[in-house]
Amino acid sequence: MEPLRADMFDEMCPSTLNPFRFGPDKWAALVIACLEDGPRRFSELRVPLHRVTPKVLTQSLRRLEQDGLISRTEYAEPERRVVYALTPLGRSMLGPIGEACRWTAEHWDELLDAREREITR
């Protein structure tokens, strides 16, 4: 499996203007996207989610697990490690998240214009 890229969620990524929320917090959709290709360790998730503090990422992962969207598996041998993966329910969110991202990219200029108008008020 390819490592997650640090620029996966660039500052100018449409996800920053996406008006849709998936899951329990604003980071949930990004975590789900990171797990699309398979299970990941916390340290792997931190690479593209570097703007999220470890504490907030931990809280997001716990909420996603409570909602049944991800699973957390702890391995004790040969060294302790924890792996997060999408559940079937979480995987079913990939389609709607993808559609929301496409919509946001399509309406990027309009969303930026609206934000600019709001800031100058």
Reported as type and span, the H/E element at residue 98 is helix 94-106
Q: The whole model's pTM is what?
A: 0.86
Render each residue's pLDDT in the chain as its tens digit; 121 residues.
Answer: 899 998 887 665 556 678 888 888 889 999 999 999 999 999 999 999 998 999 999 999 999 999 999 999 999 888 889 999 999 999 999 999 999 988 988 998 998 898 888 788 7
Question: Is residue 78 exposed (0-12), middle (13-18) or buried (19+ Cβ within 10 Å)?
Answer: exposed
pLDDT at 15: 62
Each domain of the chain, given as residue ranges in start order, spans 14-95+103-119
Alpha-helical runs (H) found in the chain: 28-34, 42-46, 54-66, 88-91, 94-106, 108-119
pLDDT at 116: 86
Tell me the one-letter amino acid at 50: H
DSSP symbol at 79: S
Q: Does domain 14-95+103-119 have CATH number 1.10.10.10?
A: yes
